[in-house]
Structure 1
Amino acid sequence: MNSVKKVFLSFILLSSSFIVPLKAGGSDKPCLKRDEFISVFLDFPYHNRFIRESIDIVNYVRDRKLSQVHVKITRHHSGSAGSNYVISLIGRQRFDGMNNEITFWAPGTNSDDQTRRGLLERIKLGLAPYIANTSLNDQITVNISEDLVAAPAQEVEDPWRNWVFEIYGGANYYEESTKSRFNSRWGFYADKVSEKWKVRIRPYFNINTSSFESDDETVENENYRHGFYGYMIRSLGDHWSAGLFVKMLSSTFHNMDFNVETTPGVEYSFFPYSEATERAITLVYRVGMARNYYMETTIFGQDRETLLQQSLDLSFNFEQPWGSVRAGLEGSHYFHDFDANRLELFSRFNLRLVKGLSLSFGGNLDLVNDLLTIPAEEASLEEILLQSRAQATSYQIYTTVGVAYRFGSSFSNVINTRF
């Protein structure tokens, strides 16, 4: 037994001679102490693990109140053209008041890897001023391409003139012994985004079929929704913009053989558009005309009609270190009958209350009095169960609530991808 113990102890000592130098940093590189690192809170869902793995000279913490630098990213889609990421670095504790903002444009042709590496480089750039104010500043070097500095200023020639196009399509099929379902969709995007103009052209097509078998019968259903959506918006300064919106629709669900609608509108932003990534309050007024051709006579005895409508939309959007708030209120009515109206209210809140505790809640409330396209003939049981056409209702309500509390270690530096 003593000989076994001696062999076992010898094995441990031999293993330690290899393990200890590795943990202590046996290479020629300087061994940095974790307590010298700045504490960083990553406040975004995009490529979080990749960023933490790639930038390992900071301490990542699980709560913004524990951080010295709060890194927040908001993403703004520009249709199929791509996405614009705004990286906000907010100084806390010793860096209070030391804030910075960096933007990164990811074209729609980017792969996920290209996008995450682009974000990584800009986050590194944003963290550099904070690390430069620590004892680790001698570990930072900044390289600027000489070719970039020496290159003469010139306009970038774009043969596409900011236009981006996308063709898409897809389908899925599901089958069991007594039922089957087929869904398909396809369409086309054309987008133009510039400082002055925002334009979209989008035709789309959807076909859905389903079949259910019982002991004595087979229920089959086929519906489609084809349409067009487009707009042309012109910037009129830091607070104003105007646009024209065009819609077309042919849908079995909406009892619409064909519909065309043109709606001009104007928007006022209470804050400059340049601050929209952090705070925005906008008021939008639209007035438009629609020409409808129905598949079946409506509950108001109409086979076709021309409608005039106006709407007013007030919306709020705040992205702050304490959380985010999105809310809006929209009212609309038809001119031929003011009782044919609609009021929509929506809200989304995500609040960080105290250390580790966050609350999210939201809801939609629609008071509906403008369903003019409902067929006069009552829906069959099959149509109700299959939800193949719109049903009359006076309101719609949707609510959601959630709470989360995180506690334990303040640090989240370790990445483990096993399994």
Structure 2
Amino acid sequence: MAPTAALIAQPAGPRGGPPGGAPRPAVAETVLPDSVLQSSLRVFLDCQGGVRGCDRTFFTQELNYVNWVRDRFDSDVHLLLTSLNAANGGRQITVNFLGQKNYAGKVDTLVVTTLPNDADDVVRRELLRTFQLGLAPFVARTPIASRLRVGLANGVVAPVINPRAVKDRWNLWLYRVDGNINASGEQLVRTTNLSTSLSAARTTEQWKINLGATGSYNELDFKVFETNASNPALRDTVSVVVLQRAANTNALFGRTINAHWTAGVKVSAGFSEVLNQKMAVRVSPALEYNYFPWSEATRRQLTALYYVRPNYYEYYNTTVFEQDRETRFNHTLLLALTQRQKWGNTNITLEGSQYLHDMNRNHVTLSGFVDLRLGRGFSLNFRGSASRVRDQIYIAANAKSERDILTQRQQLQTNFRYNVNVGVGYTFGSIYNTIVNQRFGNLGELGRRFGFFGG
């Protein structure tokens, strides 16, 4: 890959001169004083419409001489990204650098044009380069400017900003509250879906804490026609209401051991009418190993996760094993491979679980996707999962009615599950036409039926 222009950190050489041939000092030696870090540029990343390649974790790790904030009102620079279809089948991503507070009125715009078959890693690295160039005039007005220069860089690492050096009244905690209401209907069918979630998270280099609660209420109200008992020539309209309710609370505590190992515990409690679980409580001590250092997590991971846990279940209906409540132990091993490379992306997971009281009660699942860029304009992708299921100890013993089966009111017993999708694509023609033309871009249902009008 050719060298790219970028902002890089490089300690000054003897008497302020260039570094010369001396080995580059460790990152720890380039950490700036707290007073400087607290005044570093604050940047808010705003990706409108799900801009491809907008990977906040990657940018935070790679462009670490600015403070990334989660609210635009706290930022010095608002990075606003928008995306439009280009005539070559790729995307035109516009990056707006909007100055705020002491930088109010300072505005710049840069444009990134992608090809239709560019891998996600190519797109996000091009965005990273664009951020580095566009933020240079802003960084030049901060105390960190003396430590940075614009030049040709090949993997030179910037000084790491320590989040603890920045005054934070929230102490690194992030909270989120979500609520959704969805209703739809026709003459004979009406559905109502309600859901809510609460979460709190705190992440440091040593600890990862996630707390959460979710709840859902799904109601299906439909009308069926039944023969009138007193007059068979007539049919009555009967309203049938099917409810599916569930709720869950969980807590995850993870502790970094070293560059590869992590230990933790997850606790959860909840109920699910579909799964016949009036109460389910689980405690899961876990150990995780990553073959690659976690510092490379945005690019590649090969992890093994193992946990053993007790499970307490209380059921709405007696199960097929004649249980109304029970405590069972199971253990699980999960292997996962994730890569984001120039040639494409892979995400493959193999999971196996087994109840200890009966080794025949187990399940094995292979799932994931592979997205390959095999050549110029040619892509191939596989998505799917396959499971062997033998651990449904919660299945109710009472016979299911035809109505329950058709409405999926309760989980049905099965020995396997699968879904498979294979896709292939080939794009050819001009790669130079990057003109954006949004005319006829809003055709409603007509546009959805004739996809080539998409804007």
Is the shorter-chain TM-score for this pair beyond 0.5, marking a shared fold?
Answer: yes
The separation in 2 between residues aligned to 1:187 and 1:47, in whole angstroms, is 23
The separation in 2 between residues aligned to 1:338 and 1:298, in whole angstroms, is 18
What residue is the counterpart of 1:179 in the other structure? 189
Alpha carbons 1:294, 1:373 under 8 Å: kept? yes
The separation in 2 between residues aligned to 1:415 and 1:50, in whole angstroms, is 18
Q: 1:301 aligns with which of 315, 318, 322?
A: 322
One-letter amino acid matched to 1:187: S
Alpha carbons 1:362, 1:399 under 8 Å: kept? yes
Q: 1:291 aligns with which of 292, 309, 312?
A: 312
One-letter amino acid matched to 1:84: T
1:8-407 counterparts in 2 under 5 A? Answer: 73=53, 75=55, 83-86=56-59, 101-102=62-63, 107-110=69-72, 114-116=79-81, 117=95, 126=129, 144-149=139-144, 155-216=165-226, 217-407=238-428
Alignment deviations for residues 331-388 of structure 1 (CA, whole Å, 9 cap, x no partner): 1101100000010101301001111100111220110000000000121111111111
One-letter amino acid matched to 1:289: P
Pairwise CA RMSD: 3.2
What residue is the counterpart of 1:60 in the other structure? none
Q: Identify if the C-alpha distance between structure 1 residues 105 and 363 changes in structure 2 by more than 3 Å, giving closer, same or farther.
A: farther
Higher mean Cα deviation, 227-236 or 394-403?
Answer: 227-236
Alpha carbons 1:229, 1:248 under 8 Å: kept? yes
One-letter amino acid matched to 1:345: L
Residue 73 of structure 1 deviates from its aligned partner by 3.7
Alignment deviations for residues 259-313 of structure 1 (CA, whole Å, 9 cap, x no partner): 1100010001101001111111001111101111100000000000001010111
Alignment deviations for residues 60-87 of structure 1 (CA, whole Å, 9 cap, x no partner): xxxxxxxxxxxx9462xxxxxxx42449
| Other structure's SS at 2:406 match | helix
Alpha carbons 1:74, 1:277 under 8 Å: kept? no
Alignment deviations for residues 182-202 of structure 1 (CA, whole Å, 9 cap, x no partner): 110112111111111111111
Q: Identify if the C-alpha distance between structure 1 residues 243 and 49 changes in structure 2 by more than 3 Å, giving closer, same or farther.
A: closer
Q: Identify if the C-alpha distance between structure 1 residues 309 and 192 changes in structure 2 by more than 3 Å, giving closer, same or farther.
A: same
Alpha carbons 2:60, 2:68 under 8 Å: kept? no
| Other structure's SS at 2:210 match | strand
The separation in 1 between residues aligned to 2:341 and 2:356, in whole angstroms, is 40
One-letter amino acid matched to 1:174: S
Rg larger for: 1
One-letter amino acid matched to 2:216: N
The separation in 2 between residues aligned to 1:401 and 1:47, in whole angstroms, is 29
Residue 410 of structure 1 deviates from its aligned partner by 2.1
Q: Identify if the C-alpha distance between structure 1 residues 225 and 107 changes in structure 2 by more than 3 Å, giving closer, same or farther.
A: farther
One-letter amino acid matched to 2:315: Y
| Other structure's SS at 1:84 match | helix
Q: Identify if the C-alpha distance between structure 1 residues 413 and 250 changes in structure 2 by more than 3 Å, giving closer, same or farther.
A: same
Q: State the TM-score, normalizing by the size of structure 2.
A: 0.65
One-letter amino acid matched to 1:372: I
TM superposition outliers: structure 1 runs of 4+ over 4 Å: 46-51, 103-108, 117-125, 141-144, 150-154
Higher mean Cα deviation, 366-375 or 225-234?
Answer: 225-234
The separation in 2 between residues aligned to 1:166 and 1:49, in whole angstroms, is 20
Q: Identify if the C-alpha distance between structure 1 residues 396 and 244 changes in structure 2 by more than 3 Å, giving closer, same or farther.
A: same
Higher mean Cα deviation, 255-264 or 115-124?
Answer: 115-124
Residue 246 of structure 1 deviates from its aligned partner by 1.2
The separation in 1 between residues aligned to 2:146 and 2:312, in whole angstroms, is 56
Q: State the TM-score, normalizing by the size of structure 1.
A: 0.70
| Other structure's SS at 1:385 match | helix
Alpha carbons 2:47, 2:54 under 8 Å: kept? no
Residue 251 of structure 1 deviates from its aligned partner by 1.0
Give 5+ residue unaligned stretches, structure 2: 5-45, 82-94, 98-108, 111-124, 148-160, 227-237, 441-455
One-letter amino acid matched to 1:178: L
Alpha carbons 2:181, 2:192 under 8 Å: kept? yes
Higher mean Cα deviation, 313-322 or 149-158?
Answer: 149-158
Alignment deviations for residues 110-168 of structure 1 (CA, whole Å, 9 cap, x no partner): 59x74524797795772599x9xxxxxxxxx9664344248999921112111111111
The separation in 1 between residues aligned to 2:433 and 2:143, in whole angstroms, is 37
| Other structure's SS at 2:369 match | strand
The separation in 1 between residues aligned to 2:371 and 2:416, in whole angstroms, is 26
Q: Identify if the C-alpha distance between structure 1 residues 228 and 114 changes in structure 2 by more than 3 Å, giving closer, same or farther.
A: same
